[in-house]
Amino acid sequence: MAPRCDTLWRNARIATMAGPSGLGIVDGGVIAARDGVILHAGPEAEAPAFDAATSIDCEGRWITPGLIDCHTHLVHAGNRAHEFERRLQGASYEEIARAGGGIVSTMKATRAANEDDLVASALPRLDALIAEGATTVEVKSGYGLTTADEIKMLGAARRLEEKRRVRISTTLLGAHALPPEYTGDAERYIDLVCREMIPAVAEAGLADAVDAFCEGIGFTAAQTQRVFDAAKAAGLPVKLHAEQLSNLNGAALAARAGALSADHLEYLNAAGVAAMAEAGTVATLLPGAYYFMRETQLPPIAELRAAGVPIALATDCNPGTSPLTSLLLVMNMGATLFRLTVDECLAAVTRNAARALGLLGQTGTIEAGKSCDLAVWDIERPAELVYRIGFNPLHARIWKGL
C-alpha cells in the first residue's frame, strides 16, 4: 500500500544540509510531510509512491531548511536612530553610553512599555525575518534588568509564537548591562540575577537558555561563572556574548560550562578556539554588529575552521549595534566581510544555527523525523542566496508542514 502523506513537494533541488559538512544536495528530489514532520526526503527515483493529499510541483526550484536566526534582541522598545546620528557626527558608542544613552536608553523605553507594546513593536522586525524564509528565531531579554521587566520581555517573546507561524527560542539575558540603580555594585546585581531572576524565569518556563555579556563594559568572567552556575542549578543551558570588544577568556569559560554557543568572538584567541572545539560549542558570528560598529578586528575564522568549530551566523538584531533584520544580508556579510564560503554561510543559518539553540534534533536540516520547516527559492544555484544584496528570491516558506 502506498504510504500516505499530507503534502508532497516534487521536482525540487534540495540542499538538505544533512551531514557534518556541505549542502547535502539532492537533484530531482521529493519531500513528503505528515502531521508537520518530514516523512521522507530524497531523490524521486528512489522514493516510495506516496498517496499525497496535496502534491506540489516545485518546477526545479531549490529548497533549503527554513532559515534560523540564532541570536537576536528582537523584543525591545524604541530605537536609537538619534544616537546613530550622533555617531555620524563623531561621538563614540562609549561616549553615548556614558551620557545616559546606549543600552540604558533602550532599557528605559522597554521598562516603560507593556507586554502588548513590546509584542506590537517586535512584529514588524519578526515579519522581515519571516519574509526571507526564517522559521526559527531566538529572542533575548536584557533590556528590562529587573525581574519583572525581564519576565515581561520573555513573555512578549513567547507571545510572538501565537501571532505568527514561527518557532521562538527564548533566552534570559539578565546579565546584559548594569542597571543605573546598581551603579558601583555589580556583585549585588548578579546576586539578583542568580538568586531571583533565573529561578523565577525557570519556574515560569519562560526561557530556553541563559546568556550574559562578558565584557569590560558588561560583566567579569567571575560574575559570568556565577550566572552559569545559577543557570545550571535551574536546569537551563547557557550561551555567552564573548570577546566582542576585548578578550576576557569568556569563550573558554563558556565552553567549560558546556555552552551551546559563544557569540561575537572578534577578540577570540587560540586557547578559546581550542576550548570551543573540545566542548563542541558553536561559534555564532555576528557580522551585522561588526559592520555597524565599523570594527576592524576579524574573528579568527581560519582557526575556527581548522579546529572544526561549527560556525553559525545571526543578525544580533538590536537597536544599538546591529539594527538588522535580514538573514540573506547576514550571509552576504559572512562571505564578504568574514570570507566564509557559500556552503559555510548556508550551514551557518540552518544546521549550525539549530545546534546553537539546542534544536538540531528538531530542525535545521531536511531529514526524516524533523519538523517540516522549508524555504523554497527562485534561484539557479545556492550561491545566489549569499551573493545578492537587498534582493529576496523566496518563493514559499513552510513551517511545520504548512
How far is 104 from 145, CA to CA, in rounded Å?
A: 10
Q: Does residue 319 interact with ligand DI6 by CB under 6 A?
A: yes
Q: Name which of residues 104 to 123 contact ligand DI6 (CB under 6 A).
A: 106
Rounded Cα distance between 333 and 184, Å, is 38
**The one segment of 112-120, 149-157, 201-209, 312-320 that binds Fe ion by CB under 5 A:** 312-320
Separation of alpha carbons 311 and 347, rounded Å: 8
321 sits near ligand DI6 (criterion: CB under 6 A): yes
Is 289 near ligand DI6 (CB under 6 A)? yes
User: Applying CB under 5 A, does 69 fall inside the site for Fe ion?
Assistant: no
Phi, psi of 250, deg, nearest 5:
-70, -40
- Shortest Cβ distance from residue 217 to ligand DI6 (Å)? 9
Which residue number places its CB atom closest to ligand DI6?
320
For ligand DI6, what does the binding mask look like between residues 153 and 182, x meaning CB under 6 A? -----------------------x------
Residue 318 binds to ligand DI6 (criterion: CB under 6 A): yes
132: contact with Fe ion by CB under 5 A: no
Q: Kindly give the pairing relationship between strand 25-34 and strand 4-15.
A: antiparallel
Q: Is 213 in the site for ligand DI6 (CB under 6 A)?
A: yes
241 lies in the binding site for ligand DI6 (CB under 6 A): yes
Q: How far apart are CA 268 and CA 18, in angstroms?
A: 28
Residues 65, 101, 272, 320: which binds ligand DI6 (CB under 6 A)? 320
Site for Fe ion in 314-333 (CB under 5 A): 316
Instruction: Choose between 119 and 177: whose C-beta lies nearer to Fe ion.
Output: 177
H/E stretch holding 181: none
**Minimum CB separation from ligand DI6 for residue 276, in Å?**
19
- Closest of 184, 187, 98, 108 to residue 146, by C-alpha: 108
Buried b (16+ CB within 10 A) or exposed e, 346-382: bbbbbbbbbbbbbbbeebbbbbeebbbbbbbbebeeb
- The interaxial angle of helices 115-131 and 147-163, nearest 10 deg, is 50
Residue 138, interface with Fe ion (CB under 5 A)? no
CA distances from 402 to 5, 15, 196, 312 (A): 13, 19, 40, 26
In this structure, what are the phi and psi dihedrals at residue 378, rounded to the nearest 5 degrees?
-90, 75
- β-pairing, 374-377 vs 261-264, is unpaired
Among 5-13, 156-164, 313-321, 377-385, the segment contacting ligand DI6 (CB under 6 A)? 313-321
Residues of this chain that bind ligand DI6 (CB under 6 A):
102-103, 106, 176, 213, 241, 244, 289, 318-321
Residues of this chain that bind Fe ion (CB under 5 A):
316
